[in-house]
A and B are shown apart, each in its own frame.
Chain A
Amino acid sequence: MSEELLEIKDLRIEYHTDESVIHAVNGIDLSVKKGQTLGLVGETGAGKTTIAKSILRILPGLQAKILSGEIRFEGKDLLSVSEREMRKIRGNKIAMIFQDPMTALNPIETIGFQISETLKIHNKLTKKEARKKACEMLELVGIPSYRYDEYPHQFSGGMKQRVVIAIGLACNPELLLADEPTTALDVTIQAQVLEMMAELKEKLDTSVILITHDLGVVANFCDSVAVAYAGEIVERGTVEQIFDHVAHPYTEGLFASLPRLDRRERRLKPIKGLMPDPAALPEGCSFCDRCPYAEERCFKTKPADVELEPGHIVKCFRVAGGE
Chain B
Amino acid sequence: MAPLLEVYNLKKYFKTRGGLLHAVDDVSFTVENGETLGVVGESGCGKTTLGRTIMHLLPPTEGRIVFEGKDISKPKKPELEELREKMQIIFQDPFSSIDPRMTLGEAIMEPLVIRGGMSKADMIAETRKLMDTVGLASRFENSYPHELDGGRRQRIGIARALSLRPKFIVCDEPVSALDVSIQAQIINLMLDLQEEYGIAYMFVTHDLSVVKYISNDIMVMYLGQVVEKAPADELFDHTLHPYSKALLSAVPIPDIHKKTKRISLMGEISSPVDPPAGCRFMPRCLYACERCAQPQVMEESTPGHFVSCCRYKELAGKEEEQ
Contact = CB atoms under 8 A, between A and B. Distances in A.
Contact of B184 (A240, A244, A264, A268): A268
A244 B257 CA distance: 9
A216 B259 contact: no
A261 B180 contact: no
B265 A220 contact: no
5 contacts: A195-B264, A216-B252, A259-B184, A267-B191, A272-B185
Interface string B181-205: 1111101100100000000000000
B85 interface: no
Nearest to A158: B268
A216 B179 CA distance: 14
Interface string A145-189: 000000000001111000000000000000000000000001111
B255 A219 contact: yes
B264 A274 contact: no
A286 to B, nearest CB: 14
Interface stretch (A56-64, A65-73, A249-257, A295-303): A249-257
B97 interface: no
Leading 6 A-B pairs by shortest Cβ distance: A216-B252, A270-B184, A257-B184, A186-B42, A215-B254, A43-B179
Interface in B240-293: 246-256, 258-259, 262, 264-265, 268
Give the secondary structure class of A's interface: helix
Interface string A74-112: 000000000000000000000000000000000000000
B191 to A, nearest CB: 7
A261 B268 CA distance: 24
B180 A254 contact: yes
A189 B268 CA distance: 8
Interface stretch (B3-11, B19-27, B117-125, B209-217): B209-217
B253 A270 contact: no
Contacts of A43: 179-182
A189 B258 CA distance: 21
B187 A258 contact: no
A263 to B, nearest CB: 9
B206 interface: yes
A255 B262 CA distance: 22
How many B residues are at the interface, by size bracket?
A: 35 or more
B149 interface: yes
A261 B187 contact: no
| B210, B254, B259: residue with the most chain A Cβ atoms closer than 10 Å | B254
A194 B188 CA distance: 31
B95 to A, nearest CB: 12
Contacts of B42: 186-189
A244 B256 CA distance: 8
A213 B188 contact: no
B265 A192 contact: yes
Interface string A192-228: 1011000000000000000001111111110000000
B166 interface: no
Contacts of A270: 181-185, 188
Nearest to A265: B213
A268 B250 contact: no
Contacts, number: 120
Contact of A243 (B179, B206, B233, B255): B255
A123 interface: no
Contacts of A257: 180-181, 183-184
Nearest to B212: A261
A148 B262 CA distance: 30
Contacts of B251: 187, 216, 261
A278 to B, nearest CB: 12
| A157, A243, A259, A272: residue with the most chain B Cβ atoms closer than 10 Å | A259
| B181, B246, B258: residue with the most chain A Cβ atoms closer than 10 Å | B181
A254 B179 CA distance: 10
Given A194-B252, A262-B255, 4 more contacts: A259-B207, A260-B253, A268-B213, A271-B181
Given A213-B180, A268-B187, A191 B262 contact: yes
Contacts of B247: 187-188
A216 B260 CA distance: 11
B208 A240 contact: no
Contacts of B256: 219, 239-240, 243-244
Nearest to A269: B184
B43 interface: yes
B236 interface: yes
A188 B246 contact: yes
Nearest to B266: A192
B137 to A, nearest CB: 12
Contacts of B246: 188
Contacts of A264: 233
A259 B188 CA distance: 11
A274 B182 contact: yes
A126 interface: no
